[in-house]
């Protein structure tokens, strides 16, 4: 059997005192949720760890299931797929309610390889997001898949608004979590503490910010499971070295005109997601949020 390196990116992250507060950092014991939740500027940390035990290193084969559904944002799925498919001894299965082709929110056609009803327990469940997430928040088969996986103590990795699906499954209560910036204020309605970070690791649950942050989160998962050198080799393989030509990737960087245009295109989704979040807060018994 191949011997995997023992070092981990999470063990050598720099302390970012300006963003995290004096003496706080992702290394060691972790970050207090209070100081993390207050971070919302250009010093936002790339990764925040809670004080819970991190996922255990895997020395053997790894099975990853990526959950897809109509109306997902395909990069939430395909970005991490690029990473997970390159982890040594890893198999990635694409799971859905049916084996019919699935159309993403912008029209890309994806093909599932496995039915939810036939999917066994596996090492990593990857939950994508996208506008289609709103239509399946009460789907018992999809919610049940997430709940079974959590109950078995397996690693769950959500990208973007996949965090809201995990919230609907009740697994965000008492956790730190992040999601797409436009839905970031909603995770508290599912019982989570919202954290401004690219990736958040809370025990066996890893969440990322919007869309492209899934690449960062998947590389971090690869590091947690196999060590830094594997994650670094994958990063080189896919030449993931972003140097953006434009600087409007976060609301802190974007102009007000750009943000206004985003919400114009976002349409009714903002209100729909807010109403849904209030519904789930009542269902989950989350009371420490403002009334609608």
- Confidence label for 35 from pLDDT (cuts 50, 70 and 90): very low
Catalytic residue among 95, 160, 164, 234: 160
Q: What is the pTM of this model?
A: 0.86
258 catalytic per annotation = no
Q: 140 pLDDT exceeds 60?
A: yes
Rounded average pLDDT over 10-36: 34
What integer pLDDT is reported at residue 292 of this predicted model?
A: 43
Looking at per-residue pLDDT, the higher value among 113 and 1 belongs to 113
pLDDT tens readout for residues 200-231? 999 999 999 999 999 999 999 999 999 999 99
What integer pLDDT is reported at residue 125 of this predicted model?
A: 98
Q: With contact defined as beta carbons under 8 Å apart, do 68 and 127 qualify?
A: no
Beta-strand pair 124-127/62-67: parallel
Q: 16 pLDDT exceeds 80?
A: no
Q: 64 pLDDT exceeds 80?
A: yes
Q: With contact defined as beta carbons under 8 Å apart, do 143 and 169 qualify?
A: yes
Q: What is the dihedral of CA 83, 16, 174, 195, to 10 degrees?
A: -70
What integer pLDDT is reported at residue 194 of this predicted model?
A: 97
Q: 274 pLDDT exceeds 60?
A: yes
Per-residue CA distances from 79 to 57, 160, 238, 259 (Å): 22, 12, 10, 24
- Confidence label for 59 from pLDDT (cuts 50, 70 and 90): confident
Please tell me the distance from the alpha carbon of residue 45 to that of residue 188, in angstroms, as a whole number. 20
What integer pLDDT is reported at residue 36 of this predicted model?
A: 37
Kindly report which listed range (26-30, 61-65, 160-164, 165-169) carries the lowest average pLDDT score. 26-30
Q: 18 pLDDT exceeds 50?
A: no
Kindly report which listed range (19-23, 162-166, 191-195, 288-292) carries the lowest average pLDDT score. 19-23
Task: Encode the chain in three state secondary structure.
Answer: CCCCCCCCHHHCCCCCHHHHCCCCCCCCCCCCHHHHHCCCCCCCCCEEECCCCCCCCCCCCEEEEEECCCCCCHHHHHHHHHHHCCCCCEEEEEEECCCCCEECCCCCEECCCEEHHHCCCCCEEEECCCHHHHHHCCCHHHHHHHHHHHHCCCEEEECCCHHHHHHHCCCCCCCEECCCHHHHHHHHHHCCEECCCCEEEECCEEEECCCCHHHHHHHHHHHHHHCHHHHHHHHHHCCCCCCCCCCCCCCCCCCHHHHHHHHHHHCCHHHHHHHHHHHHHHHHCCCCCCCC
Beta-strand pair 124-127/155-158: parallel
Q: Is 52 exposed, middle or buried (0-12, 13-18, 19+ CB in 10 A)?
A: middle
Which residues touch 117 (CB under 8 Å, ≥6 apart)?
141
What integer pLDDT is reported at residue 26 of this predicted model?
A: 32
pLDDT tens readout for residues 148-206? 999 999 999 999 999 999 999 999 999 999 999 999 999 999 999 999 999 999 999 99
Q: Whole-number mean pLDDT of the chain?
A: 87
Long-range CB pairs of 60-63 (<8 Å, 24+ gap) are: 60/1, 60/89, 61/89, 61/90, 61/91, 62/87, 62/89, 62/90, 62/91, 62/123, 62/124, 62/225, 63/90, 63/91, 63/93, 63/122, 63/123, 63/124
Q: With contact defined as beta carbons under 8 Å apart, do 254 and 115 qualify?
A: no
Please tell me the distance from the alpha carbon of residue 247 to that of residue 228, in angstroms, as a whole number. 28
């Amino acid at each position: 059997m191949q011997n995997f390196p023992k070092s981990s990116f999470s063990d050598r992250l720099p302390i970012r005192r300006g963003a995290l507060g004096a003496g706080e950092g992702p290394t060691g014991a972790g970050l207090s949720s209070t100081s993390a939740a207050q971070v919302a500027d250009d010093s936002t940390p790339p990764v925040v760890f809670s004080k819970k035990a991190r996922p255990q290193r895997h020395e053997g084969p790894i099975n990853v299931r990526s959950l897809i559904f109509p109306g997902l944002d395909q990069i939430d799925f395909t970005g991490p797929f690029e990473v997970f498919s390159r982890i040594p001894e890893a198999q990635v299965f694409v799971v859905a309610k049916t084996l019919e082709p699935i159309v993403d929110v912008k029209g890309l056609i994806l093909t599932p390889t496995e039915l939810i009803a036939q999917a066994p327990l596996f090492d990593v469940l990857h939950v994508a997001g996208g506008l289609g997430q709103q239509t399946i928040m009460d789907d018992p088969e999809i919610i049940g898949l997430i709940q079974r996986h959590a109950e078995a103590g397996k690693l769950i990795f959500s990208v973007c608004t996949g965090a809201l699906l995990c919230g609907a499954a009740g697994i965000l209560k008492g956790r730190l979590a992040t999601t797409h910036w436009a839905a970031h204020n909603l995770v508290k309605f599912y019982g989570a503490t919202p954290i401004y970070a690219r990736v958040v690791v809370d025990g066996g649950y890893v969440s990322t910010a919007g869309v492209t942050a899934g690449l960062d989160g998947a590389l971090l998962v690869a590091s947690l499971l196999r060590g830094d050198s594997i994650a670094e080799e994958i990063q080189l393989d896919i030449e993931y070295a972003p140097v953006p030509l434009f600087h409007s990737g976060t609301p802190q960087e974007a102009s007000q005109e750009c943000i206004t245009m985003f919400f114009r295109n976002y349409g009714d989704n903002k209100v729909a997601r807010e109403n849904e979040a209030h519904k789930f807060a009542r269902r989950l018994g989350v009371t420490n949020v403002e009334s609608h």
